[in-house]
Structure 1
Amino acid sequence: MKKLLCIILSLVTITLTGCGNDNGTIRFGAAGLGGMYYSFSTAFTELATKENDKLKFDVKTTAGSAANIRLLSKGYIDMGISQMDLIDDAYYGSKDFDGQKYTGYSAIAGLYKEACQIVVLDKSSIKTLDDLQGKTVSIGATDSGTELNATQILKVCGLWDNLVKTKNLDYTDAAKQLENGSIDAFFCTSGIQTTVIEELAKQYKIRFIDIDNKCAQKLKTSYKFYDSYTIPAGTYTGQTKDVSTLCVKSVLLVKNNMSEDTVKDLTSLLFKHAKDFQYSLQMDLNFDEEDSTKGVTIPFHPGACAYYKEKGITVSSSAK
């Protein structure tokens, strides 16, 4: 029932923002405002249309990673970004998707690493993950990658079953409620430097909670797509210390029935403008063709395969 409700809510989001695909417009699922998916999607579509005036895009706000996968699978969007852990679960039908397989899409490229960020105000008494017990915490929007990661982290740390009061908020609402004291902390799985966190840091002193080594090792053992990650000091305004956490890879997806030529052009544009994305988004986007094909467990679109072949890289357009 919960999953059915999530699907309905996701479809409503798309319906309210318009779901037409007239004149060959590419509908790009970008998650919510203030997150890196939206920033990247906006930058990508702007650069792509400047490069090729035949391309048209409509950037859509969605609930996040899981919603983008479902919407791609159902044909409500044409492109989207999602976390590799969720993509693998959805494509091959894990328990997180009630065993149902969501297909009809394929990969263009792995993008950047998304850090699991846990934010509190600097004056907070919360210093470690254990201190979240008894607190009110946003675990991200319903049907988002953040929700999945936050749930996994809390469970591995023994902080579930009513030990933490959780709320499902998007990043913007989470920042507002942290400001006014309605919540004590919020989770955010996103590429650094996340816009909504940086804007919060400019107005208030904030801190990040480390994911300690014991918890990190349990998570990496239990879930194959996690990797260790350090948010360097100075990433955000007022951040004076490195933050030890985990990350997952983000992947750019496209529906299977998009033409091979169009997807090849989009793949080419992605790498041609890699440094432009880095400058415009002020984040580490040093991805290249070789790195972007690693760790992707679903098929690549034939158009992407054609591009990589020209670069001497072989990837498959067939399922395992």
Structure 2
Amino acid sequence: MRKTKITLMACALVFAIVNSALALDFVTIGSGGVGGTYYPLGGSMAEILNNAKIDVKATSRATSASRENCRLLARDAVQIGMVMGSTLWQAYTGTEAFEKDGKLDLYILMNMYAAPQHIVTTGRTGIKTFEDLRGKRVSVGAPGGGDQVLTNLILAAAGWDPEKDIKREQLTQPEGATALVDGNIDAVFWNFAAPGSAVLEVAAVRDVVLIPIPEDVVKKVCEANPFLFSYTIDKNVYNQAEDCLTVADGNFLVVNGKMKEDLSYRLVKTIVENREAFKKVTTQAEHFNPKEASVGIIRFASGAVKYFKEQGFDTLK
């Protein structure tokens, strides 16, 4: 009788453990490489989801970032991926780097933060407007890098030829910062989240001036490249006299079409409502708010649509 009772208790315990495990949703987050923002953010995200008591067991996986994350999502090898907007657009439309993959079944969970294009000069150059850049020594970014890709799109929208209308240099961000400080170039095009360390480095020894992009150029480049959007760098970010109009690429949390509405709802709600905790990892977490997080370039997961609507925001493209 005693053995039977112990056996029944053991079976009940095993049954409870199995049921508890079955009730959990297992989520792997595809982040990025060690040293980038994505990697520590992925680890922090997993920790917060695990401690939120929302029946989610999360782990973070180091990857080579955007392109790999899109392909891992498509295979359901990860359930959340951190992806730049330009890469997401290619994966969603099955173009350029994803031409052989075809269109991937991807959805936005939330917009994490923007990476605006910075056009930076110093007070001693006398450059104040976009048109003033014509004929000047300008770094468009390193060959093949994201800075240069976006720079070329902007110049094309303005009708400029980078080989004729400016004295083109192709410098990395550290090289560009040094050259700008030393006066060896007049301006640089950089793409990163604001505030950018390269701008702050220059500002430590020179009067930094941000050059706005004309409204018509912003409109043209965004219409031609739907993954880009209009963005204003607040004047207080770099202690400027006025706000600066530019364009931005985005950084998104992305899921695939297999994710259930209830799970995507719990995930986005937990991440957005714990943004203060994420600020310990990156200052960009201040953008983890419903107004900014609901701005996208493709469709949103149904649970995200539901959550943002509850907060008073329609998901925007």
TM range (shorter): 0.5 to 0.7
Is the CA contact 1:220–1:227 (under 8 Å) kept in the aligned structure 2? yes
- Is 1:133 the equivalent of 2:130? no
Percent of residue pairs identical: 18
Deviations 1:244-283 (A, max 9, x none): 2233443222567899998666434321212444576445
For residues 134-192 of structure 1, the C-alpha deviation after alignment (integer angstroms, 9 at most, x for no partner) is 52413357353x333211111122332512424262x4444344334554432233332
2:84 is aligned to 82
Match of 2:23 in 1: none
- Under a length normalisation based on structure 1, what TM-score does the superposition of the two structures give? 0.64
1:71 aligns with 2:68: yes
1:149-228 → structure 2 map (5 Å cutoff): 149-160=150-161, 162-163=163-164, 164=166, 165-167=168-170, 169=172, 171-181=173-183, 183-228=185-230
* Distance 1:140-1:102 versus aligned 2 partners, 3 A rule: farther
Following the alignment from structure 2 to structure 1, what is the Cα–Cα distance between the partners of residues 307 and 244?
39
User: Distance between the aligned counterparts of 2:212 and 2:309, measured in 1?
Assistant: 40
CA distance in 2, matches of 1:177, 1:225: 31
The Cα of 1:117 is off from its aligned counterpart by 1.3
Distance in 2 separating the partners of 1:81 and 1:98: 14
What is the aligned length? 269
Which SS does the other structure have where 2:216 is aligned? helix
Do residues 250 (structure 1) and 251 (structure 2) align?
A: yes
Residues 57 and 213 of structure 1: is their aligned pair in 2 closer, same or farther, counting only changes over 3 Å?
same
Is the 8 Å Cα contact of residues 127 and 209 (structure 1) preserved in structure 2? Answer: yes
What's the counterpart of residue 15 of structure 1?
none
The corresponding residue for 1:231 is 233
SS at match of 1:215: helix
For structure 1, the 5+ residue unaligned runs are 1-23, 63-67, 314-320
* Aligned residues of 2:31 and 2:41 also touching (Cα < 8 A): no
Provide the C-alpha distance between the structure 2 equivalents of 1:228 and 1:25, rounded to a whole number of angstroms: 32
Change (3 A) 1:201 1:69: same
Q: Cα distance, 1:243 vs. partner?
A: 1.5
1:113/1:50 CA distance change after superposition, 3 Å: closer
Q: Compute the RMSD of aligned alpha carbons.
A: 4.0
Query: Which residue number corresponds to residue 274 of structure 1?
Result: 275
Q: CA deviation at 1:118?
A: 0.9
Structure 1 residue 293 displacement after superposition: 4.3
Partner amino acid, structure 2, of 1:57 = S
Partner residue in 1 for 2:43: 45
Give the gaps of 5 or more residues in structure 2. Answer: 1-26, 52-56, 311-317
Q: Output the amino acid matched with 1:147.
A: Q
Q: Which AA in structure 1 matches 2:68?
A: L
User: Cα offset for 1:211?
Assistant: 0.6
Pair 1:29-2:29 in alignment: no
Which protein has the larger Cα radius of gyration, Structure 1 or Structure 2?
A: 2
Letter in 2 for 1:158: G
The amino acid of 2:32's aligned partner reads G
For residues 258 and 174 of structure 2, what CA distance do their matches in structure 1 show?
Answer: 34
* 3-state SS of paired residue (1:245): strand
Paired with 1:234 and 1:286, the residues of 2 have a C-alpha distance of 20
